[in-house]
Amino acid sequence: MQIKGVDFVWIVAADVDGTARFYREVLGLPETGIQDDDWREFQAGSVTLAVTPAHVGLQPPRVLVALAVDDVGAALAEARDRGVEVLHETRNTPACLNAMIADPEGNPIWLHQRHDGTFG
């Protein structure tokens, strides 16, 4: 088997409307053309995030998504101003700056800034 890449990240949510609103309004991710009662897609650079209700018996899992930002401190401050739960403050590692917030389902989201300026 040869994997060509990631088609999408699937986020199972108990409250699809509230979780989709978070990705759209709080994080500002644009919707793709695929939006219905069972599937909401958002574009995060070259990766698609799909928010769905539980399918085929799946329960909402913990999904960690790392979203590239230009300025972790500014992104964290904006999230905090919007009432988003902060899971950890900005950390400086050898490779990056990162902070962690949570979506309404409690899924952790890394706000991520590589020191070399790249992403993806």
Contact 103, 22 (CB under 8 A): yes
Contact 92, 53 (CB under 8 A): no
Give this prediction's pTM: 0.76
Q: Between these two residues, 8 and 73, which has the higher pLDDT value? A: 73
- Closest to 98 (Cα-Cα) out of 81, 79, 41, 83: 79
Q: Between these two residues, 27 and 12, which has the higher pLDDT value? A: 27
How far is Cα 26 from Cα 91, in angstroms, rounded to an integer? 22
pLDDT surpassing 70 at residue 111: yes
Query: Which residues make Cβ contacts (< 8 Å) with residue 4, sequence separation at least 6?
Result: none
pLDDT per position as a tens digit, 44-100: 998 889 898 876 566 666 677 889 999 999 999 999 999 999 999 999 988 889 999
| Pairing mode of beta strands 65-68, 108-114 | parallel
Rounded mean pLDDT of 4-28? Answer: 87
Contact 69, 28 (CB under 8 A): no
